[in-house]
């Protein structure tokens, strides 16, 4: 498929690879995402990269209040025209990397909101980290590449978990909404995808300083094959390994563990001890 064949609505979107434009054409996948977003509820939705409106349209029809942020000027203009008479939809031409969704919500007097999107995959890490730092977000439904989704869903302590698994599972209960094969998009991407649902979950012991916690988890995973005590020891400088051993002991965390072997509770305790230091 070359990206110029008409979609279900008869339009011929010319996809820009640099903007990760793979437009959803599967009605089944759209339905599942829309259902997961519960558009009838009163919580408004911030949509990332509405593209040709594959999600925006059905969400708007179900009465959801939407603010959608699209970087592609032409698509933003087309969507703006399409939804001009729709009071519940606002199309904003913007780069989501620059958007603080909490501030956007505040400006609209939205106490809470949900985040949604079939996002450009080049921005997956950026968007996932943004999501983990948000305070007013009442949940999210986001499409990611299957391999990334698998990693995010892996529990801390299990083989294959990583920075995003630990960082996101600290604040969210994460579930798989649906799979989306490459054929669900136009043009067809080279990878399969999954849609993840994020429900905020207040976890005992979760740190308040999310940025600090993220930095700590990132450093800890910088050499994922090494024992964590060695990674943290190097970071602490001369005599660092002895100090790291002491700190891990204080946090009741086995000094022989590698980063992917720590449970979420281990991460919380360890960060608390290191933060105090
Ligand atoms: N939501 C549409 C759909 O499901 O068919 C489009 C999805 S497409 C994978 C990603 C969309 O994000 C494109 O419309 C693209 O132009 C837009 N996009 C890419 N980079 C962006 C950025 N930095 N800020 C906002 N939108 C961006």
In 89-161, beta strands by DSSP E: 89-93, 113-118, 137-145
Q: How far is CA 271 from CA 2, 128, 135, 167, in A?
A: 48, 21, 20, 12
Q: What is the CATH number of domain 210-276?
A: 1.10.8.100
Q: How far is the CA of 119 from the centre of ligand 1 (A)?
A: 6
The domains spanning 17-200 and 210-276 adopt the same CATH topology: no
- The string of pLDDT tens digits covering residues 196-220 is 999 999 999 999 999 999 999 999 9
Which residue has 């990269």 as its token pair? 49
Q: Whose C-alpha lies nearest to ligand 1, atom 24?
A: 95
Tally: H helices and E strands in the chain: 11, 9
User: Each residue of 119-138: pLDDT tens digit?
Assistant: 999 999 999 999 999 999 99
- Average pLDDT rounded to a whole number, residues 138-167: 97
- Atom in ligand 1 nearest the alpha carbon of residue 185: 5
Contact 260, 158 (CB under 8 A): yes
Q: How confident is the model at residue 277 (pLDDT cuts 50, 70, 90)?
A: confident
Distance 37 CA to ligand 1 centre (A): 18
pLDDT of residue 9: 53
Which tokens sit at 103?
């501030």
User: Which residues have a Cβ under 8 Å from the Cβ of 100 and sit 6 or more positions away?
Assistant: none
What does the block give as tokens for 90? Answer: 């606002």
Name the token pair of 261.
Answer: 């072997």
Predicted local distance difference test score (pLDDT) of residue 14: 76
- pTM equals 0.93
Cβ atoms of residues 30 and 56 within 8 Å: no
Beta carbons within 10 angstroms of residue 261's beta carbon:
17
- Report CA(59)–ligand 1 centroid distance (Å): 16
Average pLDDT over residues 86-104: 98
Distance 51 CA to ligand 1 centre (A): 5
CB 119 within 8 A of CB 130: no
How many Cα atoms within 13 Å fall on the side-chain side of residue 145?
Answer: 13
Atom 5 (ligand 1): residue with closest C-alpha? 23
With bands split at pLDDT 50, 70 and 90, how would you rate the model's confidence at 193? Answer: very high
Indicate the domain borders of the chain: 17-200, 210-276
Going by alpha carbons, the residue nearest to atom 11 of ligand 1 is 49
Structure tokens at 245: 């051993």
**What is the pLDDT at residue 10?**
54
- Report whether pLDDT(8) > 70: no
Distance (Å, whole) CA 88 – CA 61: 10
Residue where the block lists tokens 């204080």: 250
The CATH superfamily of 17-200 is: Vaccinia Virus protein VP39 (3.40.50.150)
- Atom index in ligand 1 nearest the CA of residue 19 equals 19
Give the pLDDT confidence of 64-85 residue by residue, as tens digits: 999 999 999 999 999 999 999 9
CA 19 / ligand 1 centre spacing (Å): 7
Distance separating alpha carbons of residues 129 and 43, to the nearest angstrom: 22
Ligand 1: nearest atom to the Cα of 51: 14
Percent of the chain with pLDDT over 90: 90
Which residue's structure tokens are 């000094």?
Answer: 255
| pLDDT tens figures, 12-31 | 557 999 999 999 999 999 99
Q: What is the mean pLDDT of residues 34-56?
A: 95
Looking at the CA of residue 117, tell me the nearest atom of ligand 1. 1
């Amino acid at each position: 498929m070359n990206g110029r064949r008409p979609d279900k609505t008869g339009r011929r979107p010319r996809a820009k690879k640099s903007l990760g434009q793979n437009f959803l054409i599967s009605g089944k996948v759209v339905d599942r995402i829309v259902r997961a977003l519960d558009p009838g509820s009163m919580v408004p939705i911030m949509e990332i990269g509405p593209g040709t409106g594959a999600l925006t349209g059905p969400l708007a029809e179900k009465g959801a209040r939407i603010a959608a942020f699209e970087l592609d000027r032409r698509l933003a203009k087309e969507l703006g025209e399409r939804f001009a008479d729709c009071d519940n939809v606002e199309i904003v031409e913007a780069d989501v990397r620059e958007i603080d969704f909490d501030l956007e919500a505040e400006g609209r007097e939205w106490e809470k909101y949900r985040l949604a999107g079939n996002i450009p995959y080049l921005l997956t890490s950026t968007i996932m980290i943004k999501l983990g730092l948000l305070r007013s977000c009442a949940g999210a439904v986001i499409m990611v590449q299957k391999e990334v989704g698998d990693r995010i869903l892996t529990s801390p302590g299990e083989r294959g978990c990583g920075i995003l698994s630990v960082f996101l599972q600290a604040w969210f209960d994460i579930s798989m909404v649906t799979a989306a094969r490459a054929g669900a998009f136009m043009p067809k991407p080279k990878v399969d995808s999954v849609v993840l649902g994020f429900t905020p979950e207040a976890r005992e012991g979760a740190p308040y300083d999310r940025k600090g916690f993220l930095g700590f988890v990132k450093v800890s995973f910088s050499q994922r094959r090494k024992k964590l005590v060695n990674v943290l020891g190097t970071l602490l400088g001369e005599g660092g390994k002895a100090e790291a051993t002491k700190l891990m002991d204080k946090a009741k965390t086995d000094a022989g563990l590698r980063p992917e072997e720590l449970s979420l509770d281990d991460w919380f305790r360890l960060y608390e001890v290191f933060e105090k230091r």
